Structure 1
């Protein structure tokens, strides 16, 4: 990675190794987010994003509650608590919200979303059939936008925030084909160079029409 650049295609492929056969049936089951006020968060993830509350699990001795949400039909949720638990933990790509009791009343508490220093966690992504239509509804519902579909240099996707400030990318799978296809340009030396979205060099993007410097992908 000379000059601070990213891995070449060959280096990226070489860094990947074949997993043990035991991993064949592994899956991404959940992403955990700590939330300050569960009532506000549940309202956002169900009313705004359209998710379903799959299960609520209380831990009284440790004073916290877990809320599992996903894009599932309410009618599919088992009534039996043990069956529901097994079913919930067999769903793909759920969101697990952790509420530490009393945090909603703590005026000094604010969770770090990972997008300011020190940077870490970035965002989750939600695929929708029509980004523009989804964003019109989000706007009507009072969602906080970081980027609207037609703002900035990367058109066709959006970013909103949940009540705790976590970033949520709104995308369409078909649109991503063109957004993630790197443009090819001829250089004076005759070499072919590509510049892909999220390449390591810094570039200027806009959020809420204010210029910001982003490095790597948002």
Structure 2
């Protein structure tokens, strides 16, 4: 199999053999209230909790979520499930630092306010219009609707901690950029 990549300054022409088997496993977001965030991601985006890991000595909990397919075989044994979780792709890790939920004025920086940094995560959906109706029915806050702004056909919503989530329909992206 030939590995494809667009050519651009800075992009290596060949994949180093030493990186064989490297997989982007997860991205992490810090959350204030686990119950609220888990309800949001499991209901609104259909994600499942693969593994919860507590670290009492450091007072935080990690929640690993992913979209599962019917054919996915998730191990029952906790150790095997942990190993399986860390071998998957496209996992969202939610990190809860204990006690943050009890602080009324506490909030994490979403990366989009100044100074900008982290931007967003993204879900692709089979039909953007249907997804927007689903998000509306669930009273999800929109940053940008698909018919707004210069980037038509792309939506942005916020999760309970204010992180932005881009919503795209791949078929609508064929003319994106130059």
Kindly report the root-mean-square deviation, in angstroms, between the aligned alpha carbons of the 2 structures. 1.7
Please give the alpha-carbon distance, in whole angstroms, between the structure 2 residues aligned to 1:43 and 1:108.
Answer: 21
How far off is 1:95 after superposition? Answer: 0.4
1:55 partnered with 2:51:
yes
Describe how 1:95-134 pairs up with structure 2 within 5 A.
95-134=92-131
Moved over 4 A (4+): none
Residue deviations 1:79-108, cap 9 Å, x none?
101110011111101000000111100123
Please give the alpha-carbon distance, in whole angstroms, between the structure 2 residues aligned to 1:161 and 1:141.
Answer: 12
Alignment TM-score, normalising by the size of structure 2: 0.90
Aligned to 2:135: 138
- Kept in 2, the 8 Å contact 1:127–1:173? The answer is yes
How far off is 1:77 after superposition? Answer: 2.0
The one of 15, 18, 25 equivalent to 2:21 is 25
1:149 partnered with 2:143:
no
Describe how 1:65-214 pairs up with structure 2 within 5 A.
65-73=61-69, 76-180=73-177, 182=178
Secondary structure in 2 matching 1:134 = helix
Aligned to 1:212: none
Please give the alpha-carbon distance, in whole angstroms, between the structure 2 residues aligned to 1:13 and 1:144.
Answer: 36
Q: Which runs of 5+ in 2 are unaligned?
A: 1-5
Please give the alpha-carbon distance, in whole angstroms, between the structure 2 residues aligned to 1:103 and 1:77.
Answer: 31
- Kindly indicate whether structure 1 or structure 2 has the higher relative contact order, using CA contacts under 8 Å at least 6 residues apart: 2
Please give the alpha-carbon distance, in whole angstroms, between the structure 1 residues aligned to 2:47 and 2:175.
Answer: 28
Residue deviations 1:186-212, cap 9 Å, x none?
xxxxxxxxxxxxxxxxxxxxxxxxxxx
How far off is 1:13 after superposition? Answer: 2.1
Residue deviations 1:38-96, cap 9 Å, x none?
00000110100111111101111111100000111487321101110011111101000
Greater alpha carbon shift after TM alignment, 12-21 vs 128-137: 12-21
